Chain A
Amino acid sequence: MTNRKSENMQANGKSERFIVPIGPQHPALKEPEHFRFTVEGEIVTNAYVRLGYAHRGIEKATEQRNWVQTNYLLERICGICSHIHSTAYCLGVEKLAGVQVPPRALAIRTLVAELERIHSHMLWLGVAAHEAGFDTLFMYSWRDRETVMDILEQLTGNRVNYSANLLGGVKYDIDQEIADSILEGIDFLEERTRHYLEIVTTDALFLQRTRGVGVMTKTQAEVMRAVGPTARASGVTRDIRVEAPYAAYPQFPARITLATNGDVEARFVVRIEELFESHRLIREILANLPESDLRARFPRRIKPGETIIRVEAPRGELFYFIKSNGSDKPERVKVRTPTICNMSSVVKLAVGHQLADIPLILAGIDPCFSCNDRGVIITRRQNKPDLWTWEQLRQYGIGYYDGNNK
């Protein structure tokens, strides 16, 4: 009876296919990106993504800035994992210049990187919980995240772009007072994180949204070249801190966190367990902080050469290729961020799922569209393209905020 009824509801007895466009401006997406999901009923049968809405031309912009200015620019690729971009760049340029960075500076860089990982994973925990409809967890995890934000502010004076790195070292030292408050904060966070781990693995309603959803097998993860916690949740042993230790990780080895199920639940578990690893590393670094200067002298010009540097950002492997031509400006800086690797997995995993599961699958990779798009192009869609000088653009910007150009 019900079958016949549903047949009556269909035109010509054929199933109808709809395309649901999402974004680039959409209340459910916190950053601009465009998705098109083809659905048959509730089931997604095809997915398409259009990137580039946050493309700022940063790789090109590095060619016009000197080595020091480029550091500030690259730190602004992403607002969440800012420190790791500048760390990758500094490590690479220091290698090119043949400058030995003092051990204390490397340890402090690593410490800030782990604090950044904590804030990034806790931010993700909140966002992902929100996408699953669990707003209580979102509010609690973001409240607790303020602890690590306060630590970062106390240490560097900034909440977002910490600007801790200089070419040849770091700007900020850690004294006993700051060390004590970091340890106190970490103790609190560890206790809270234990509570979160219990919730995401036992709450029956939450598990219905995460267990068995968006499953990516190990082979799929390898073929799609997934990185970071997304890959590790599928059992792929890829963590640059472990594979190719950089900065102070040779002295303070990190342990890899793995899960095997490859579903959204596994991505929750891997990220939360990584928080414990970060807590451990921070305690170890603070207990064994080497005594040395904070910075080495750094040349203005750098001899010609090329270097590759890979680091583990909160979202996975971050790859930098830096080329010097012997001047005070980089010849080329190539940035390959983790999200671009993980994005293709979203498109593939979406197929076969209910449309309602898509926000969680997308949130599962912890996407960062600004990282993704990086690279200044402001478009007003006109048939005939005009060319603006930088000065005209600047005047337009000033006028806009004065209310003249709106």
Chain B
Amino acid sequence: MDMDTIFQTAQLLVEDMAEKIEKPDPDRMDVYMKNPQDLVSAAAGLRVKRLGYLAAITGLDPGVDMDVLEVLYHFCTASVTITLRFQLPKKSPSIPSLCEIIPGAEPFERELSEMFGIKVIGLPNPEHLYLPDDWIEGDYPLRKDFNRGTISV
């Protein structure tokens, strides 16, 4: 599959669920999704078209004064990366789990949930992945308001 076919196929799949679609680099397509509930159907569609290799999930905190968190799902095929981007309210961020259709997503989702405090609904094992079991509840290291000068012991 060449680059243009991949982009066209992906665009057709996600167009209806997208607010806007951007191409920041020749080999990248960023899809700004309207609704977090569309994640599973979008990923399933990509999988059916054999574009469903989930390379990583990135969480982003745009800043202390912003009331949203961003989650990026990177799907890679050959040299192309298709990124599904979701904005979640910082007060109660939640997103459905992909484990039903992509079992390998589990460690990524557990990392996302413990580092950013994003609730992943339907995650089979929501325990800590990297952080200690007795980690302070409600303290999320990769959020920008995490207190950097201190360290828990």
Please report A residues at the B interface, Cβ cutoff 8 Å.
51-52, 55, 57, 59-60, 63-64, 95, 222-225, 243-244, 305-308, 310, 317, 319, 321, 323, 332, 334, 336, 340-341, 343-344, 373-382, 385-390, 393
Contact = CB atoms under 8 A, between A and B. Distances in A.
Contact of A224 (B74, B103, B151): B103
Contact of A60 (B24, B142, B152): B142
A381 B151 CA distance: 14
A368 to B, nearest CB: 15
A248 B39 CA distance: 36
A225 B83 CA distance: 17
11 contacts: A51-B129, A55-B130, A225-B54, A307-B25, A308-B83, A310-B76, A343-B107, A375-B130, A375-B141, A387-B151, A389-B149
A244 B27 contact: yes
6 smallest CB-CB distances across A and B, nearest first, come from A244-B79, A225-B104, A336-B56, A52-B130, A387-B150, A55-B130
Interface residues of B, number: 41
A346 to B, nearest CB: 12
Contacts of B141: 57, 60, 375
Contact of A385 (B81, B130, B152): B152
Given A52-B132, A244-B78, A377 B151 contact: yes
A278 B115 CA distance: 38
Interface string B114-133: 00000000000000111110
A223 B59 CA distance: 23
Contact of A388 (B76, B102, B151): B151
A310 B76 CA distance: 10
Nearest to A317: B55
Nearest to B80: A244
Contacts of A317: 55
Contacts of A63: 148
B151 A385 contact: no
A313 to B, nearest CB: 13
B23 to A, nearest CB: 13
A389 B146 contact: no
B10 interface: no
Contacts, number: 110
A308 B132 CA distance: 29
A375 B79 CA distance: 27
A223 to B, nearest CB: 6
B34 interface: no
A377 B74 CA distance: 28
Contacts of A51: 107, 129-130
A91 B132 CA distance: 33
B132 to A, nearest CB: 5
A310 B55 contact: yes
Contact of B152 (A244, A319, A373, A386): A386
A319 to B, nearest CB: 5
Contact of B150 (A380, A382, A388): A388
A385 B56 contact: no
Contacts of B134: 379, 381, 385
B151 A308 contact: no
A385 B153 contact: yes
B148 A64 contact: yes
A60 B17 CA distance: 32
Given A51-B130, A319-B56, 20 more contacts: A52-B128, A52-B131, A52-B132, A60-B141, A95-B25, A224-B103, A243-B79, A319-B55, A321-B58, A336-B55, A340-B108, A341-B104, A373-B130, A375-B141, A377-B131, A377-B152, A380-B153, A385-B134, A387-B151, A389-B151
B142 A319 contact: no
Contact of A382 (B59, B131, B148, B153): B153
Contacts of B56: 319, 321, 334, 336
B38 interface: no
A24 to B, nearest CB: 12
Contact of A344 (B79, B103, B151): B103
A306 B24 contact: yes
Interface in B62-88: 72, 74, 76, 78-79, 81, 83
A307 B83 CA distance: 11
Contacts of B108: 336, 340
A387 B152 contact: yes
Contacts of A390: 149-151
Contacts of A373: 130
Contacts of B150: 387-390
B53 to A, nearest CB: 7
